[in-house]
Amino acid sequence: MAENVTTKQNSGLQEAVAFSVAVGESTDINDVARLAVIARYCGKDQVYEELSSLIPLSGTTTGQDLLTSFINYFDSKNINIRKIFCVTTDGTPAMVGKDRGFVKLLENHIGQEMESEYVDLPLYSHVRWLSRGNVLNKFVSCVEHIQVFLNEKKQHFPELNDKEWLCKLMFLTDITNHLNELNLRLQGQSQTVLELFEYWKNSNM
């Protein structure tokens, strides 16, 4: 019965368009380090979220060790890891380390396999991670690069060539910047109500 469930699960992951994984490393009662992998994917009639495997780990448990065991497992089941669109971890340094963590190494590995798409990213890396408050400002500052990028991909967005639409976008961006500045001023410690009121009043002038 267990074998049938595993076969059905592997078949579901092979057929899925995309899937997400949650991974965590821990030690069992026999003092054996294991990598728990939970997969979430859409089947024909429902969404499945199941324990995919408890992969035993030998020796060290660095980010590279975790990645190697992870890749070997999915390769043995003939499951394409390029379908992974989201990874959740237990947050340990071996998982989320900036340069040698499991997530970073997995990202690099998948990127190398999809080199034709991956090599386009460094040109736009100056955008960095965007906060909600800065996304409009960053978009406007990069709009020319975005136009070139979309043209190369043969994707057409007529708004980006519409001067009236772009003017409205610039106006919205300016207003949003002022609101962001006001929002930041109203935060923080050691401010009196009078000071906060003065900030608010000046923003309405």
The domain segmentation of the chain, as residue ranges, is 1-118, 120-205
Specify the pLDDT at position 8. 85
**DSSP-assigned letters across all residues of 103-129:** HHHHHHHHHHHTHHHHTTSGGGGGG-S
pTM for the whole thing? 0.53
**Distance from C-alpha of 15 to C-alpha of 53, rounded to nearest angstrom:** 18
Could you tell me which of 67, 63, 44 has the C-alpha nearest to residue 55?
67
Specify the pLDDT at position 121. 39
What digits encode the pLDDT tens for the residues 101-146? Answer: 999 999 888 876 544 343 433 443 444 445 556 778 888 888 888 8
Over range 179-205, report the average pLDDT: 78
Mean pLDDT of the chain: 82
Residue partners of 108: CB distance under 8 A and separation at least 6: none
Specify the pLDDT at position 36. 93
Residue 17 — left, alpha, or beta (φ > 0 → left; ψ -120 to 50 → alpha)? Answer: alpha
Could you tell me which of 82, 66, 72, 70 has the C-alpha nearest to residue 14?
82
The DSSP code for 58 is: -
Specify the pLDDT at position 170. 92
Specify the pLDDT at position 126. 46
What digits encode the pLDDT tens for the residues 42-83? Answer: 988 889 898 999 999 988 889 999 999 999 999 999 999 999
